[in-house]
Amino acid sequence: MEENLADADHAPGEKLWRLYDSWAKGGAGLIVTGNVMVDGRAMTGPGGVVVENRKHIAALRRWADAARGNGAHCFMQINHPGRQMRANLRQPVLAPSAIPMELGRFSRMFSMPRAMDEDDIRDILRRYVEAAVIAEEAGFSGVEVHAAHGYLLSQFLSPLTNRRQDTWGGSLENRARSLFEIVSGVRERVSREFCVAVKINSADFQRGGFDQGDALQVVRGLNGLAVDLVEISGGNYESPAMQGRTGDERTLAREAYFLEFAQQVTAVAAMPVMLTGGIRRKAVAESAVDAGISVVGMATALALKPDLPQRWRRGEAAEVVAPSVSWKNKPLASLAVRSIVDSQIQRLSTGKQPRSRVSPFVALIAGLLRGARQTKQYLAWSRHQVRKGG
Q: Kindly give, in sequence order, each residue whose CB lies less than 8 Å from that of residue 337, ignoring residues fewer than 6 positions away.
A: 243, 323, 324, 325, 360
pTM of the model: 0.92
Backbone angles phi, psi at 78, to 5 degrees: -105, 140
Contact 285, 296 (CB under 8 A): yes
**CA 256/CA 223 separation, integer angstroms:** 24
Predicted confidence (pLDDT) per residue in 26-54, tens digit: 999 999 999 999 999 999 999 999 999 99
At 193-223, the pLDDT tens digits run 999 999 998 866 666 668 889 999 999 999 9
Determine the Cα–Cα distance for residues 306 and 348; give it in Å rounded to an integer: 9
CA distance 343 to 102: 27
CB–CB of 279/245 below 8 Å? no
How far is the C-alpha of 287 from the C-alpha of 256, rounded, in Å? 10
Phi, psi of 195 (to 5 degrees): -80, 145
Distances (CA, A) of 345 to 10, 45, 105, 324, 355: 18, 15, 29, 17, 10
Alpha-carbon span 112 to 107, nearest angstrom: 10
3 state DSSP class of 115: strand
**DSSP structure class, residue 170:** S
- Mind listing the domains of the chain with CATH numbers? 14-320 (3.20.20.70)
Distance between CA atoms of residues 261 and 124, nearest Å? 30
pLDDT in tens, the chain (390 residues): 789 999 999 999 999 999 999 999 999 999 999 999 999 999 999 999 999 999 999 999 999 999 999 999 999 999 999 999 999 999 999 999 999 988 788 788 899 999 999 999 999 999 999 999 999 999 999 999 999 989 999 999 999 999 999 999 999 999 999 999 999 999 999 999 999 999 998 866 666 668 889 999 999 999 999 999 999 887 656 555 455 444 434 444 554 557 888 888 999 999 999 998 788 889 889 989 998 999 999 999 999 999 999 999 999 989 898 888 989 887 788 889 999 999 999 999 999 999 988 999 999 999 999 999 999 999 999 998 877 665
> Residues 15, 349: contact at Cβ < 8 Å?
yes
